[in-house]
Amino acid sequence: MGNSGSTSPASLGKAHVPHLQWKVHDFSALLEAGAKSAKSSYFHCSGYKWFLKVTPPVNKTTGAETPYVGLSLKLCWTSLEPGHTVNAVFELSVYNYSKRMYYGCRASHKFDLENNQSKNECLIPLQKLLKSSAFQVDGSCVFGVKILKLRVTSPEKKDVLVDKKATTIQNLFVQKKGFIKGTYTWTMDNYLELDSKNFVGSPTFEVGGLKWHVSMYPSGTRHITDYISLFLYLEASDELSAELGKVVELTLSILDQKNGKHFTMTTGLSVFTGAYGFGWPKFLSLEKFKDPSGGYLVGSSCVVKADFTIVGSSNNG
């Protein structure tokens, strides 16, 4: 299977041992959830944090329109530095239970702060996943990613030794019913008094028996500037370790207090643990946020809203 996809994934051979093995239990439940994507928890390789993204389904035209499931690789933006490019060669795959090996494609991508998700997808025909016992057992599919080569371009170029380590095993469980919905509105009346170099966190609130908070960076975080950065975090606790997370579909909004035209962004399904949050480092430009006609900042008042649904759970096997 090439970067542009084909009608059948190709064998990657018995030497393909992935850095991440991600088992999606009851794959049909993921489809029924209607999410635009699902992202694994982070896995570590060669000093970087990565995750695998599944997009079900993707319509591509190969003579006729056929629904595909797409696999892509993403590098966590916090792993990246300004002016650095991480050139990666990797394999994206799905496990063939009959052949007892992974099938998929090899791809490459140049990851940087502006472009930290691979455009090269491994495309797997949806019907092959749903109908073939080779790729699905007891309703479950196993996806994988293996990093083959890394080269970092900064002021200088250097090769990075790719870790030879045990496979990280993760599981994804998506419910078909019994979803837990949460919403929280955070009103700040002192935005203009905030330290623009530091984040500010909302009061803690509870959804699904767990504690959450929203974090804002008023002028961007790390190397992101001139933007509002906005995230939702699941607070670490004894009940929820870094090995066990909740699968969440998240919408964050900055409310328009004048016109009712709120600025909103929505994720696919993301795995939240006590270690990491999800959101957008470039949520809304400061120019647009501070435009008086927009209603996002009225005086010193700003209103942020989080709406999310817990649709399942995840663990590292």
Q: Are residues 193 and 303 in the same domain?
A: yes
Task: Write the pLDDT tens digit of every residue in 206-250.
Answer: 998 888 999 998 887 777 788 999 999 988 654 445 446 889 999
- Which three-class secondary structure state does DSSP give residue 29? helix
Mean pLDDT across the chain: 86
DSSP state of 218: T
* Tokens 């090899």 -> residue: 106
Whether 148 and 261 share a structural domain: no
Last residue of a domain, one of 159, 174, 189: 174
> What percent of the chain is modeled with pLDDT above 70?
89
In angstroms, the CA 122 to CA 133 distance is 20
Instruction: Give the pLDDT confidence of 159-179 residue by residue, as tens digits.
Output: 889 988 789 999 999 988 889
Q: The domain containing residue 161 runs over which residues?
A: 10-174
* Residue at 48 is within a domain: yes
Question: Can you name the residues that pair with 182 across neighbouring β-strands?
Answer: 308
Report the alpha-carbon distance of residue 206 to residue 212 in Å, rounded. 6
Look-up: residue for tokens 């063939």? Answer: 96
- Using DSSP's 3-state secondary structure scheme, residue 216 falls into strand
Q: Assess whether 25 and 86 both reside in one domain.
A: yes
Burial 166-205 (b: 16+ CB within 10 A, else e): eebebbbbbbeeeeeebebebebeebeebeeeeeeebeeb
- The alpha-helical segments, DSSP class H, found in the chain are 27-32, 126-131, 286-289
Q: Are 147 and 263 contained in the same domain? A: no
Quick one: 70 and 104 in the same domain? yes
CA nearest to 133, candidates 102, 99, 93: 99
The residue from 174, 209, 231 where one domain ends is: 174
